[in-house]
Amino acid sequence: MSNQLYINEIQSLFDNVQRSEIFEDQKMMTDAVPLFPIAKINEDYEQSKNTEGFDLKDFVMTHFDFLGARVSVQRQDQLPIGEHIEKLWDELTRTAYEEKGTLLKLPKPYIVPGGRFNEFFYWDSYFIMLGLQVSGRVEMMENIIENCSYLIQNIGFVPNASRTHFLSRSQPPYFSLMLDLLFETTGDKEIYVKYHETLEKEYAFWMNGEEGLENGSSVKRVVKTIDGDILNRYYDAENTPRPESYLIDIEDHEKASGDEFYRNIRSACESGWDFSSRWFADGENIQTIETLNLAQVDLNCLLWHLEMTLAKSSALQNLSEKENYFSERAASRRQMINNYFWDGNTNNYKDYHTKKNTKTPSEHIAALYPLFLGIADQGKAEAVAKAVAEKFLYQGGLVTTTKNSGQQWDLPNAWAPYQWLGFKAMKNYGFDELAEKIKNNWCSNVERVYKNTGKLMEKYNALDTETIAGGGEYPNQDGFGWTNGVYLQLQQN
């Protein structure tokens, strides 16, 4: 199968399958592997679809392979949680040395999140690496970095996940942080030299289009403010329904206004926060989504780290011109982060609305990034810590926003990445007691759910720790890559 989205080649059949809802989860059909050449499947479908007694599901099941569509782990005896995670690393390991259906090939083995997610995910993999570091699985850490580098070198960026229908977007750029984690593990600075070209290529992807951009305008992932400053935003190259959530998007689009609804939806997916009131103009309804109008604090902090890492990798090679260039860009961005994203009225970091030239009202936990990466000064850090303690920390961990909208990246859900970001952010500025509370509240929630269910979940309910988290487009998943990684790392600290 050539590296193209075969879904486009079976569009009529795909459209019918997704609209007919023959599978409970729309991702099932996107992950299916054709058992025959596409031309033959299309021919069979056209000939048989209008015949008497035609059964669409039966047709699909005989023309596609659904093996490996789910990762579910059931054990006879419940192991101690640490032993369970050690076994999970092997059970979540996959290889894709050749393309199958929509699955992209990768040169090295990798770890999938679990549940319905049976492919390599970009930002998940950083949090998985946190656990691999504790488990002493350095080779798998190196594999993840090598796979990311392969994707950047061959595609120009790391897609959201390793499937063809994600070739229009990335995810939060964590590659430079992955290198830091490996360096912390091995002490080998050569890692930065080895992947210098890869870092440059990823940076070029995020900054593509900045030349010649006029004040107050945007292109792809780059925004130029009315004052002429360059910031970044999440973006997706496509403005069509997501294949993996096809019918949901079509139905939401019918009630939405604006000609870029699909792109706004997809751009929110690039952030990893799909979905949250953070992106909604009215703070309540997905039909008002306006991701493209925002420059996001988390993305700009991650790109500051990428610039700093490029300055470092340039210095290691005595590339003084490049070192100066990236150092200056990082210094400029640091200033802009504290200018555009700091909200003096609420004493917290917010996203920046590029059309209204103001901070957005949404209060969200991505405000941790300037502390996680050491960009904030002590005064701002104290204000963020106060907000974290008063508005975001609950019995079961840190929630992502202060609004309960029914979306999965809103209250009451606690997600693994932000427990680690919160813990580290507080430690960085000396708020040790708060760091410990974040760690203990979430870890005890994970342990309680594991004791009751034998599973490690994708997300947790931080308010009602007796229940399992919900919201979103699919049920809570078990596995689960980043939960395993963050839990082990927190236990180690």
CA atoms within a 13 Å half-sphere pointing along the CA-CB vector of 260:
14
What is the rounded CA–CA span in Å between residue 168 and residue 291? Answer: 16
Phi, psi of 78 (to 5 degrees): -80, 120
What is the rounded CA–CA span in Å between residue 171 and residue 298? Answer: 11
Question: Which of 271, 267, 210 has the alpha carbon at shortest distance from 237?
Answer: 267
> Does the annotation count 458 as an active-site position?
yes
Phi, psi of 9 (to 5 degrees): -80, -20
Residues in the chain, total:
493
Burial 303-324 (b: 16+ CB within 10 A, else e): bbbbbbbbbbbbbeeebeebbe
Residue 152, amino acid = I
Question: Which of 53, 67, 129, 62 has the alpha carbon at shortest distance from 100?
Answer: 67
353 membership: H or E segment, kind and range: strand 352-353
What is the rounded CA–CA span in Å between residue 316 and residue 395? Answer: 45
Of 236, 274, 290, 307, the catalytic one is: 274
Of 142, 270, 343, 458, the catalytic one is: 458
Beta-carbon contacts of residue 219 (< 8 Å; ≥ 6 apart): 209, 210, 213
What is the rounded CA–CA span in Å between residue 74 and residue 468? Answer: 18
Phi, psi of 145 (to 5 degrees): -65, -40
- DSSP result, 58-122: HHHHHHEE-TT--B----SSPPPHHHHHHHHHHHTEE--SS-BTTBPP-SS-EE--BBTB-S-BH
Within 10 A of 189 (CB to CB), how many other CB atoms are there?
12
Beta-carbon contacts of residue 166 (< 8 Å; ≥ 6 apart): 159, 160
> Does the annotation count 31 as an active-site position?
no
Kind of pairing between the strands at 352-353 and 294-295: antiparallel
Whether omega for the bond prior to residue 417 falls within 30 degrees of 0, making it cis, is no
In contact, 245 and 267? CB cutoff 8 Å: no
CA dihedral 104, 105, 111, 117 (to 10 degrees): 20
Beta-carbon contacts of residue 201 (< 8 Å; ≥ 6 apart): 152, 153, 156
In contact, 170 and 159? CB cutoff 8 Å: yes
Catalytic residues: 274, 458
